[in-house]
């Protein structure tokens, strides 16, 4: 396989990271596309727009600091761009490109009318005060103002951003527009047009898709042993929903370390301890384990809800789970994918499993535009239905084509994107 032709000239081939992973995924999917759409596949290997911005802010001590920010729109054939904004010291253009591309496929898999976009600022937000974080957010918003808008590109929270950050973005954009524009972002506070059910949406999608896979594999969720990497918004919600369904959450891992209890962890007690101490280590009823042991845990279900490239060729062979659900974006490398396939692990890919978040973001956008808001019960019911229907479509395609679920999901999503592009044509 040769991806050199797919590498934009402004990127170094030595530092592609997640973008290289995405290109490998597209190369694996291309032979399975319909003959009608296969010639259009190169469209998927190039982002439509990539904006790099300088984000200067005045620090509390009076000095001026500069941070680098990005907003990438991968594809807009099916609608306005949609994708989160992350604040992280390791953010790169290649990473944001990959994340925007996965959003393109993800939105198409669950059939919401969005294209793919993503944004980020290379910064460690833990080193900023709240006033500095607000100034960073408002300046970054002003710099990407030319791209975003409720009919153009709608950001949302991602790693190290939250509803407060979204409120600042909405306010800054609204001030520049001279009118309140609630639909410019999703994941906002409820009082500013946010949607009920949004906080747990990604974790709920992870849970629902895993339940659907378990049912088809003849596995009972009640009593199943679950390990979850990542205990942020997605991982915590997933853990809570699994525990409520009678599963045993036997291992957890985040940036502070890993803990385990073969009899099952008390998820709510662990959450309370972590909230107070900032760490999983020392949580009640939990044994501290090392990272290698976490991946070797004897479990039925493994949820990867941290960051990309966590499951690699070095640890994939240790995974004993029957189901691996990708709550994070791009947690599994292409090499690890092949190992998991050989070992009979059913992988529910990120573009399906973690699509609950963008689905409820779509609900929030619709509610903002219509100024009519739904109950949490309505939102959860609509989310569950969309996730079950999307899972069934991917599962059936995988069975029909004799491919793994990631390939089936990419075929389904990519064909929807390419068909939209074909029908719209080229202008001029």
User: What is the Cα–Cα distance from 409 to 393, expressed in whole angstroms?
Assistant: 8
Q: pTM for the full model?
A: 0.91
- Asked if omega into 428 is within 30° of 0 (cis), the reply is yes
Domain presence at residue 14: no
CATH value at residue 136: 3.40.50.10860
Domain presence at residue 293: yes
Q: Which residues are catalytic?
A: 118
Say which residue the tokens 């520049």 belong to.
176
- Cβ neighbour number for residue 295 with a 10 Å cutoff: 23
Give per-residue burial for 268-281: e unless 16+ CB within 10 Å, then b.
eebbebbeeeeebe
Domain boundary among 181, 212, 235: 181
Kind and range of the H or E element at 423?
helix 405-424
User: What is the Cα–Cα distance from 236 to 99, expressed in whole angstroms?
Assistant: 22
pLDDT at 9: 57
Q: Which of 249, 167, 255 is nearest to 203 (CA)?
A: 249
Task: Give Dmax (Cα) for the chain.
Answer: 65
Tell whether 58 and 163 lie within a shared domain: yes
Tell whether 258 and 333 lie within a shared domain: yes
Task: Give how many domains the chain has, as a whole number.
Answer: 2
pLDDT at 18: 86
Tell whether 138 and 213 lie within a shared domain: no
Tens-digit pLDDT string for the chain (428 aa): 445 456 565 554 444 578 988 998 899 999 999 999 999 999 999 999 999 999 999 999 999 999 999 999 999 999 999 999 999 999 999 999 999 999 999 999 999 999 999 999 999 999 999 999 999 999 999 999 999 999 999 999 998 999 999 999 999 999 999 999 999 999 999 999 999 999 999 999 999 999 999 999 999 999 999 999 999 889 999 999 999 999 999 999 998 999 999 999 999 999 999 999 999 999 999 999 998 899 999 999 999 999 888 999 999 999 999 999 999 988 999 999 999 999 999 999 999 999 999 999 999 999 999 999 999 999 999 999 999 999 999 999 999 999 999 999 999 999 999 999 999 999 98
Tell whether 96 and 205 lie within a shared domain: no
Domain boundary among 146, 181, 216: 181
pLDDT at 13: 46
Query: What is the residue range of 265's domain?
Result: 201-353
Q: Are 165 and 137 in contact (CB under 8 A)?
A: yes
Say which residue the tokens 């911005």 belong to.
53
List CB contacts of 406: < 8 A, sequence separation 6 or more.
25, 337, 347, 349, 351
Tell whether 336 and 254 lie within a shared domain: yes
Tell whether 101 and 162 lie within a shared domain: yes
Tell whether 95 and 206 lie within a shared domain: no
CATH value at residue 324: 3.40.50.720
Tell whether 174 and 265 lie within a shared domain: no
User: What is the Cα–Cα distance from 247 to 261, expressed in whole angstroms?
Assistant: 13
């Amino acid at each position: 396989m040769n991806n050199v032709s797919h590498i934009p000239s402004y990127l170094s081939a030595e530092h592609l990271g997640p973008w290289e992973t995405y290109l490998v995924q597209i190369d694996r999917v291309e032979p399975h596309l319909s003959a009608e759409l296969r010639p259009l596949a190169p469209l998927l290997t190039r982002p439509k727009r990539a904006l790099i911005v300088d984000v200067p802010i005045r620090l509390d001590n009076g000095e001026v600091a500069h941070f680098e920010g990005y907003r990438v729109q991968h594809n807009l054939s099916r609608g306005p761009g949609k994708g989160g904004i992350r604040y992280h010291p390791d953010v790169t253009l290649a990473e944001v490109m990959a994340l925007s591309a996965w959003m393109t496929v993800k939105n198409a898999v669950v059939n919401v009318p969005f294209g793919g976009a993503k944004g980020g600022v290379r910064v460690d937000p833990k080193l900023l005060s709240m006033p500095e974080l607000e100034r960073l957010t408002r300046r970054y918003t002003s710099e990407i103002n030319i791209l975003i808008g409720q009919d153009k590109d709608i950001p949302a929270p991602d790693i190290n951003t939250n509803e407060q950050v979204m409120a600042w973005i909405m306010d800054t954009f609204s001030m520049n527009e001279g009118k309140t524009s609630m639909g410019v972002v999703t994941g906002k506070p409820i009082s500013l047009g946010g949607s009920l059910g949004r906080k747990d949406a990604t974790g709920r999608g992870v849970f629902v898709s895993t339940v659907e896979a378990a049912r088809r594999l003849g596995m009972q969720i009640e009593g199943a042993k679950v390990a979850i990497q990542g205990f942020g918004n997605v991982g915590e919600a997933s853990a809570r929903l699994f525990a409520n369904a009678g599963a045993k959450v036997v291992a957890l891992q985040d940036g502070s370390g890993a803990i385990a209890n073969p009899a099952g962890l008390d998820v709510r007690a662990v959450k309370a301890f972590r909230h107070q101490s900032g760490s999983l280590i020392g949580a009640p009823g939990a044994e501290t384990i090392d990272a290698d042991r976490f991946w070797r845990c004897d479990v039925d279900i493994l949820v990867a809800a941290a960051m990309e490239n966590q499951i690699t060729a070095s640890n994939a062979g240790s995974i004993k789970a029957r189901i691996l659900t990708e709550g994070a974006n791009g947690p599994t490398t292409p090499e690890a994918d092949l190992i998991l396939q050989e070992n009979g692990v059913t992988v529910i890919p990120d573009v399906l499993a973690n699509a609950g978040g963008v689905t409820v973001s779509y609900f929030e956008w619709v509610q903002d535009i219509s100024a009519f808001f739904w109950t949490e019960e309505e939102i959860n019911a609509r989310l569950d239905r969309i996730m079950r229907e999307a899972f069934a479509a991917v599962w059936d395609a995988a069975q029909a084509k004799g491919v793994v679920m990631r390939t089936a999901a990419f075929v389904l999503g990519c064909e929807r994107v390419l068909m939209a592009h074909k029908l719209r044509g080229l202008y001029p």
